[in-house]
Amino acid sequence: MPAPVLDLVPQLPPATRERLESAGIDLSNGYPSWPERPTDLKLAASVRAGAREHKDPGLRADPSKKNLFGAAKQVINLSQHLGTEIVGLQLSQLNDAQKDELALLIAERTVVFFRDQDLTPQAQRDLGAYFGEVEVHPSAPQVPGLPGVSIIWDRLTGTNDNGFRNPFGTQDWHTDLTHEKQPPGITHLHNDTIPEVGGDTYWASGYSAYDKLSPAFRNIIDGLSAVYRSAHSYPNPDDPNGERIPIERTHPLVRIHPVTGWKSLFANRKYTLRIVGLEPAESKAILDYLFDLYERTLDIQVRFKWSPRTSALWDNRVSIHAAVYDYEGKAPRHGTRVSSLAEIPYFDAKAPSRRTALGLDKPEDFEPKKPRVY
């Protein structure tokens, strides 16, 4: 399928254009660039369909994180369960020991932030390649000359209908690329341009969502699998003129993080379709409860206010996130994203939850709650 023709160089925010041109990005052929999209579902599903070896760099890290923390001016935990900001370090200058410890920190704290970064798209891709194979999306817009560096910019939605009553789609809670055979581990979004007010992002912890469940409910969902779909859909090769179809793949509903060894809920309302082996009504009842728990439990979430030239690195294996579209497209917000593919999701019944592993649970935490009387 021919790539779409869309040149938005004249509309690039000044800070974005300065970043790209300073990095030597060639904008003479337009911005963004688009891959040659797969012409049908089978071709799209064949992308990265083979197994790939993944060795998480967090497994090599010093648990004390002395190389990373010792070089930082300040380490700030933004909430009890997730979110840490590192002050005074440049991502482009981290050594291998610091990168390993950063991978471990992300695995433990879900999302880590770095402000005031002098980061080229090339350096962002190089860092992503250290964490795992860089995902090259078959349908997403890219920085010219840099496959794997995707563009996050609401100017690329192809519609002007977004607004207060119809917000931009990333405001929905989701996890990226769950349809992949080996979905991303660490994803890195660098926002070079943000609105003066608004445009925050939420993250929620899959570890803590799982920890909120009773032992009896955990026994219900442990070991179950679910079907996950892609954000993009493709022509059906058996019915080219029929309805376009997304890619679907099956993964554990509860997965284990290979670095922490903790159980995490692996479900999101936008892309988790159904639980394998259950009747549709049964699947819907369980998934709706899990979605609501994940999205509405405030003490397992963090909301981050961006500033220009800020990076967020989060672990897709153990989180959901949502971008707030309260600026309604009236101010520019532009970023580049690199996703590092990880292992094939797996489940281990013997693995602990986060709170169990850290010794935070008390017996009374598991006593059934009495109904409230109002």
- Residue 369: predicted pLDDT: 72
Round to whole Å and give the CA distance between 116 and 136. 27
∠ CA 357-361-365, nearest 5°, is: 150
Assign domain 13-364 to a CATH class. alpha beta
Among candidate residues 22, 44, 18, 20, the one with its CA nearest the CA of residue 33: 20
Q: H helices within the chain, ranges in order?
A: 14-22, 41-46, 66-71, 96-109, 121-131, 206-211, 215-221, 280-296, 354-357
Give catalytic residue positions. 174, 176, 321, 337
Residues in the chain predicted with pLDDT less than 70, given as ranges, are 1-6, 158-162, 165-170, 372-374
Query: For residue 3, what pLDDT is reported?
Result: 46
Domain residue ranges of the chain, discontinuous segments joined by +: 13-364
What is the residue whose two structure tokens read 């554990």? 252
Instruction: Give the model's pLDDT for residue 139.
Output: 82
Confidence (pLDDT) at 187: 98
Q: Yes or no: say if 267 and 226 are a contact pair by the CB < 8 Å rule.
A: yes
